[in-house]
Every structure is written in C-alpha cells, then in structure tokens.
Structure 1
C-alpha cells in the first residue's frame, strides 16, 4: 500500500515551517486584485513579528495594499533556495493568510529596521503601514515526497 502524497503535519514538519518563518526576510504575496479580478503577485519584505507570525511593511500606493484593503484574503510563498540541485526539491512553504493593518506598531518599527536597515529611507512615509499576515492554513513542501498540510496551530498561530 502506498503512502498518501500529502500528509498531516508531524513534529519535524512543524519545526521546519516555524524555522522558515523565523528566518524569512521576504516572501511572494498573492492577492486578489479587485480592479482585474485576477491574482496579483508581489515580492515583499516580510519577517516574523514578536509572535513568530508574518508581518509586512507595505506602501498604500501598491496594488497589493489596495487589494488587501478590499479583500484581506491572501497567500504567501516562502522558499529556501539550495546551493545546487533541482529547485523543485528545495523546501517551500505556502500559507493562506488573512491580512490586517497593525494600528499600533509599538516596537515593530525598531525591530523592522534591525532586519531591514535600508527601510529607513521609506519607513516613515505616510503611506507605509505594517500588516499582520495571520495564517489560516499552510502547505509545506519539504522536498521530494515530503508534503504536509499545516494548521494555524502547527505554525504557532
């Protein structure tokens, strides 16, 4: 009997997904563009907030910010490129997320600048806002034959 190609999470998958979140400095954000009805993808700066879950700093002028304001459902893709070999075997984490503006960023600004020092050029511009990207589901492809469904609890949410 063959094993199902997609498995429920296990401790190793949870640890790998949480580790990828902790190390992330960027991600690909997918939103639903209300102007066209089509998905829109953007590479964004993204990092783990104090809870370990994704936080992004986004310009209100960008398509993705306007799309999130209209529909907070989105997706994130994180990957870990390998030094060599087939990219289809490198780990990647897909998350379905609900986005919300962080009204009181508190210490987030300083934390962000430690990870992204070049953001000093734009972080205080009036159109930039921090966003929580709260996972509602996840999928870890940890390499060939290692695919796992993840719940918010698996991701630390």
Structure 2
C-alpha cells in the first residue's frame, strides 16, 4: 500500500500558513525565463495585500519582471526562520502563483512603506510597479510528518479580489 504522505489542510495548517503570509516581508520568487526556458529565482520584498494575496514591488528592469510579463505563472517560497537549528526543519510554504501588474496601486504605496520603509528610496522610480501574486495552490511543510496541500481559500486569499485600496 502506497499512502500519500501529504495531507489535506486542517485548521492548524491553515492558521500556520496564514500567519506565515502575514509575517512575510521577503520571499523567493521563481519565474520561467522567456529567453532560456529555464527557471529563474530571485529573492524579493513581498508582503500580504489587503485581499490576502501576496504583493511585490518589482523593477521592470529585473529578469523576474520581464519573465512575468511574458508568462505570469510562477512560484513563491516563504520561510519562517527559527534562527537556530537545522534550516531544513524550519516551516516553509510554497505557493503556485499567477502574477499581474497593478495599474492603479491606490493606497498600496503607503501600506508598502509601512512594512518596507527603506523602499522610499526607489518606490517612486518609473520602472517600479506593484504586482499581485494570486495563489493557485500551496504546499506547507510544517516539519517532520506535517506536510499539507492548501487551496487559495485555505490561505485566506480572494482570487477574484482587486487589491486596490479605496
């Protein structure tokens, strides 16, 4: 008998994933490089938006921005660092995402600067834009024997919401 070690989400897994997203200030973004077809990884500043979906502020000059403009599919890796012990046992959350640039950021600028005050140096440069990273599915590795599949609803993200604050 071949049992799947990955479990469906329970309330504890949902809450842990939501806490990880709420605390997120950085993540690793994986995109499909249109020039080579190979995956490309970047560490980016990232935070949860008002609708529960991750937001990123990206430079249009970066490889990952050009890649997302060509193919909006990507992945995001969020990690909780415990500061000690083996990093391979720290909780981590992998999200399959679809990205879209936000044309009218509304109140996102102030929200962003509240979490990333050093971004004030570049946030108003013309090549920087906000991107909504809409979760399609997620995988939570919460430790040994604690792996879960999650849906966008499990994460508290509204896949159809508009992230612009009014």
TM range (shorter): over 0.9
1:114-129 to structure 2, matched below 5 A, reads: 114-129=114-129
Tell me the residue number matched to 2:160: none
Does structure 1 residue 30 correspond to structure 2 residue 65? no
Cα offset, 1:117, TM superposition:
0.7
Does residue 1:73 correspond to 2:68, yes or no? no
Per-residue deviation, residues 9-64 of structure 1 (Å, max 9, x unmatched)? 00000000011011100000000000111000000000011112100000000000
Q: Aligned partners of 2:121, 2:83: CA distance in 1, in Å?
A: 32
2:162 is matched with none
Q: Structure 1, unaligned stretches of length 5 or more?
A: none
1:1-20 aligned at under 5 Å gives the runs 4-20=4-20
Aligned to 1:112: 112
Question: Are residue 57 (structure 1) and residue 72 (structure 2) matched?
Answer: no
Instruction: Write the distance in 2 (CA, Å) between the matches of 1:43 and 1:17.
Output: 19
Runs ≥4 residues deviating over 3 A: 1-4
Counterpart for residue 144 of structure 2: 144
Q: How many residues align?
A: 157
Shift of 1:4: 3.6
How far residue 88 of structure 1 moved from its aligned partner, in angstroms, is 1.4
- Superposition CA RMSD, Å: 1.3
Tell me the equivalent position of 1:41.
41
Instruction: List gaps (5 residues or longer) in structure 2.
Output: 158-166
The normalised TM-score by structure 2 is 0.91
